Amino acid sequence: MAIQRAETADQARDTVNGWQTDGLSVGFVPTMGALHEGHLSLVRASVAECDRTVVSIYVNPTQFGPGEDLEDYPRRLERDCRAAEQAGADLAFCPADRAMYPEGYSTWVVQEGLTEVLEGEHRPTHFRGVLTVVCKLFNCVPADRAYFGQKDFQQTVVVRRMVRDLNMPVSIRVMPTVREEDGLAMSSRNAYLNEAERRQALCLYRALGEAHRLYRNGERHADALRAAMERVIAKAPLARADYVDIVDARTLRRAESADEQAVAVLAVRIGKTRLIDNHPLGEEFPEH
């Protein structure tokens, strides 16, 4: 079936409501486009679990800070719609900026506690933008389930908290990080990397692997795990870490000792490109 397209909230909501009236379950995959296998794995998960699948493709300006890559962010709408269709999606919701943020827009979803650390410390307005757009998208696409990637670990935690705190009637599903052959987490931002940067970008995956290896060998001092990750990053001359940390998966607080709830997280600039990755230490490491 050819993918349908919706450009306004009403079009998207009417289609979703129609399916639900017919007794069909609806899955939703919010994205900023430039779709890769990571995004498509979420679409496939939704297609497997739900009768209908909606993908949104919207580069949300409010989650970018000043001086970030909003202007350069890759936009490939036609290709994205074809890829979403091939992965089995039924509807692409592609709103224009003026439909999402009309003149005089002034309402925000702000969360306290989980959003000031890690990404929030380095991108202070990021999660206000993310939560606002996700809330708006959930109102436009009132799906039964919404799919997010483990790749953006903090985002999954803050979205789950918003859904719980605001009684949103949607169930959040988090799917594993999809990686390139060598282990680099897929990201739309990988397209910014030149050849040398692409090689050194592997330091994120290697640092996570090192933390995992030490944890498996019994190391429980979070500081030792952090130091080991930092040593791996320091070997890549083009890499500069924004943060390298071991945090508790529920609170996102810095862990003193690592347990099954601990997640290794990092954000590293490779040249001008900022990449993030993470690995829950209690889980198997994805060897590449």
In this structure, the number of other CB atoms found within 10 A of the CB of residue 275 comes to 23
Residue type, 120: G
Closest CB to ligand AMP among residues 15, 46 = 46
Binding site for ligand AMP (CB under 6 A): 31-32, 38-39, 41-42, 148-149, 151-152, 175, 177-178, 185-188
Q: Which is nearer to ligand AMP, 185 or 247 (CB)?
A: 185
**Burial tier of 84 (Cβ tally within 10 Å: 0-12, 13-18, 19+):** buried
Least spacing, CB of residue 147 vs ligand AMP, in Å: 7
Counting Cα atoms < 13 Å in the Cβ hemisphere of 241 gives 20
Q: Which residues are catalytic?
A: 39
CB of 151 to ligand AMP, least distance (A): 4
- Cα-Cα-Cα-Cα dihedral sign, residues 133, 135, 141, 143: positive
Name the closest residue to ligand AMP (Cβ).
149
- Amino acid (1-letter code) at residue 219: E
Distance CA 288, CA 286 (A): 6
The residue ranges of DSSP E strands in 157-255, in sequence order, are 171-175, 239-248
Contact 221, 255 (CB under 8 A): no
Amino acid in the structure at residue 73: Y
Nearer to ligand AMP, 39 or 52 (CB): 39
Minimum distance, C-beta of residue 220 to ligand AMP, in the bound complex (Å): 28
Name which of 141 and 186 has its Cβ closer to ligand AMP: 186
CB of 114 to ligand AMP, least distance (A): 16
Q: How far is the CB of 257 from ligand AMP (least distance, A)?
A: 28
Q: Is the dihedral angle over the CA atoms 269, 211, 257, 259 positive or is it negative?
A: positive
In 3-state terms the chain splits into helix, strand, coil percentages (rounded to 5) of: 40, 20, 40
The tokens 């224009």 sit on which residue?
96
* Closer residue to ligand AMP, CB minimum distance, 117 or 133: 133
